[in-house]
Amino acid sequence: MKKVLIVDDNDRYANNLKLYLDGKKITSDRAVDAKQGLELFMKSTDYDMIISDVTMETQTSGLWMMRKIYKSGYKGVMVIASTGFDVWGVMPFSSYFLSWFCGLHWMIPKVPLKQGTVEWVPTILSKDKTTPF
């Protein structure tokens, strides 16, 4: 069975991700900030995927948490869900930069997520796939 760690301080976004994963019969845990996300990851390294917001305790705490996890040798799927991806031109740049910076496989824009729709946008590490599942 697949297991996902959701790291987001916004209940609406986190709950919409959880509902999506529940619908696919995928177990998920939630952290409310990057500090707690890193702690949960260190306690249970059996996550198949990590989905994180960027801006939580600081403007970039989610990015730094993802980088630490990536640099630890984590081999699972890395996903960032961010309002930054709703800005024109950010995703093409992020597809390359964030793949290098934190091993990012997928991006989820938050405007559709706010409405309950999970849009999987691949980075260069997942360019030939339509969804991670």
Q: Is 106 part of a structural domain of the chain?
A: yes
Q: Is 132 part of a structural domain of the chain?
A: no
Q: What is the DSSP letter of 87?
A: S
Q: Is 133 part of a structural domain of the chain?
A: no
> How many CB atoms lie under 10 A from the CB of residue 92?
10
Q: What is the tens place of the pLDDT at every residue in 2-18?
A: 999 999 999 999 999 99
Q: Is 25 part of a structural domain of the chain?
A: yes
- Region at 82 (left for phi over 0; alpha for psi -120 to 50; beta for the rest): beta
Q: Is 115 part of a structural domain of the chain?
A: yes
Number of domains in the chain: 1
Cβ neighbors of 51 (< 8 A, separation 6 or more) are: 4, 5, 6, 7, 8, 17, 79, 80, 81, 108
The three-point CA angle 5-10-16 to 5° equals 65
* CATH classification of the domain holding 43: 3.40.50.2300
**Cα distances (angstroms) measured from residue 59 to each of 49, 83, 124:** 22, 12, 24
pLDDT of residue 128: 85
Q: Is 87 part of a structural domain of the chain?
A: yes
Q: What is the tens place of the pLDDT at every residue in 103-129?
A: 999 999 999 999 999 999 999 999 888
Q: Is 131 part of a structural domain of the chain?
A: no
Percent of the chain having pLDDT more than 70?
99
pTM above 0.85, yes or no: yes
Q: Is 28 part of a structural domain of the chain?
A: yes
pLDDT of residue 45: 74
CB 5 within 8 A of CB 40: yes
Residues comprising the chain, all counted: 133
| Structural domain containing residue 110 | 3-126
